[in-house]
């Protein structure tokens, strides 16, 4: 049973109940105080350029949030993370023939996929659709801006950094001007270090190549983290 008064990493109280607890503690010097408030933000990383995506903790936080779980973090001085997973009396369904041991992670949200190559656009859209995301399509940056001006706003825009005549960076800035709360993720092929670009605050880079499930999980984790942040800003319980 959870002790009364326990709070998650954002300081929100964890509801009393029965949880399965997983604890990870390292023997290092811990997390820098300046970095601690940001470690669950998508794409935040203290690793050198090209060595980390900053999606690991954001994905953990997003998955736990969708499953009703929580995570706490503390410096001991080594970093200690505690994951709280709500326990249930019902036994999980047994996997049938050909079903993997690991459960399929839940994904949700609407993504506008932008690409000028019809085959790439279709393949990316199918990959995200198979993983449970709602997908809108736009052939190029101009079409993307048209869709954003005439459809309910998606949770996120996914575009290739170089596969539009407008250019991924320019598209990100146009979206930031017209839809400042909308997140933009630009895919780039990581043959070298992370490209140095002038991007608006809502735009992030995601390194290719990615399998469909990994891309969908990364996108879903960003959407979940954004939703959690919006709820906190609005004063709603996390």
- Tell me the per-residue pLDDT of 219-230, one tens digit each, with 9 for 90 and over: 888 888 888 778
Phi-psi region of 123 (alpha: psi -120 to 50; beta: other; left: phi over 0): alpha
Say yes or no: 71 and 34 in one domain. Answer: yes
In this structure, the answer to whether residues 143 and 77 fall within a common structural domain is no
The answer to whether residues 71 and 174 belong to one domain is: no
- Answer yes or no: is pLDDT of 182 > 80: yes
User: In whole numbers, what is the pLDDT of the chain averaged over residues?
Assistant: 78
The answer to whether position 126 is within a domain reads yes
- Domain shared by 114 and 80, yes or no: no
> pLDDT class for 110, splitting at 50, 70, 90?
very high
Examine the fold and report which residue of 86, 121, 145 is the final residue of a domain before the chain moves on: 86
* Biggest distance spanned by C-alpha atoms of the chain: 57
Q: Summarize the confidence of residues 33-62 as an average pLDDT.
A: 72
Do the domain assignments include residue 156?
yes
Q: What is the tens place of the pLDDT at every residue in 45-57?
A: 777 655 566 667 7
User: What per-residue confidence (pLDDT) applies to 123?
Assistant: 85
Q: What is the CATH number of the domain that holds 135?
A: 3.40.50.2300
| pLDDT score, position 99 | 41
Q: What is the DSSP letter of 7?
A: B
pLDDT at res. 102? 37
Q: Which of 53, 86, 119 is the last residue of a domain?
A: 86
The verdict on 153 and 54 lying in the same domain is no
Q: Are 232 and 211 in contact (CB under 8 A)?
A: no
* C-beta of residue 161 within 8 angstroms of C-beta of residue 188: yes
Domain-terminating residue out of 27, 54, 86: 86
Tell whether 122 and 27 lie within a shared domain: no
Kindly state the average pLDDT of the residues 12-33.
85
34: containing domain: 19-86
Q: Mind spelling out the 3-state secondary structure of 100-143?
A: CCCCCCCCCCEEEEECCCHHHHHHHHHHHHHCCCEEEEECCHHH
Residue 13 domain-assigned (yes or no)? no
| Residues near 206 by beta carbon (within 8 Å), at least 6 away in sequence | 53, 55, 185, 186, 187, 188, 215, 218
In a domain, residue 99? The reply is no
In a domain, 175, yes or no: yes
> Is the same domain home to 168 and 212?
yes
Same-domain check for residues 119 and 170: yes
Please state, for a pLDDT cut of 90, what percent of the chain lies above it.
Answer: 14
pLDDT given at position 122: 87
State whether 130 and 228 are in the same domain: yes
Q: Is pLDDT of 14 > 70? A: yes
Between residues 51 and 83, the one the model is more confident about = 83
On whether residue 120 sits in a domain, the answer given is: yes
Residue 145 confidence class, pLDDT cut points 50, 70, 90: very high
* Number of structural domains found in the chain: 2
CA distances, 87 to each of 21, 107, 201 (Å): 10, 21, 38
| Cα 236 from chain centroid (whole Å) | 20
- What is the CATH number for 42? 3.30.565.10
Position with higher pLDDT, 90 vs 24: 24
Are residues 195 and 146 part of one domain? yes
Q: Is the pLDDT of residue 104 over 50?
A: no
| Band (87; pLDDT cuts 50, 70, 90) | confident
Do 114 and 228 fall within a single domain? yes
Task: Kindly state whether residues 80 and 119 are assigned to the same domain.
Answer: no
Q: What's the N-to-C CA distance of the chain in angstroms?
A: 20
């Amino acid at each position: 049973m959870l002790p009364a008064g326990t709070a998650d990493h954002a300081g929100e109280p964890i509801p009393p109940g029965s949880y399965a607890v997983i604890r990870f503690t390292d023997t290092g010097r811990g997390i820098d105080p300046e970095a601690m408030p940001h470690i669950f933000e998508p794409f935040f990383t203290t690793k050198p350029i090209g060595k980390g995506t900053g999606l690991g903790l954001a994905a953990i936080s997003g998955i736990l949030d969708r499953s009703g779980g929580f995570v706490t973090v503390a410096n001991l001085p080594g970093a200690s993370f505690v994951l709280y997973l709500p326990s249930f009396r019902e036994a999980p369904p047994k996997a049938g023939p050909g079903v993997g041991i690991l459960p399929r992670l839940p994904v949700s949200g609407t993504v506008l996929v932008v690409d000028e190559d019809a085959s790439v656009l279709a393949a990316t859209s199918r990959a995200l659709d198979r993983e449970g995301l709602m997908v809108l399509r736009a052939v190029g940056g101009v079409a993307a801006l048209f869709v954003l001006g005439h459809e309910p706003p998606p949770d996120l825009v996914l575009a290739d950094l170089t596969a539009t005549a407008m250019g991924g960076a320019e598209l990100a800035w146009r979206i930031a001007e017209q839809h400042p709360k909308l997140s933009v993720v630009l895919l780039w092929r990581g043959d070298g270090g992370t490209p140095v670009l002038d991007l608006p605050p809502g735009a992030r880079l995601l390194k290719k190549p990615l399998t469909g499930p990994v891309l969908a999980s990364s996108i879903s984790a960003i959407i979940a983290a954004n939703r959690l942040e919006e709820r906190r800003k609005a004063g709603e319980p996390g």
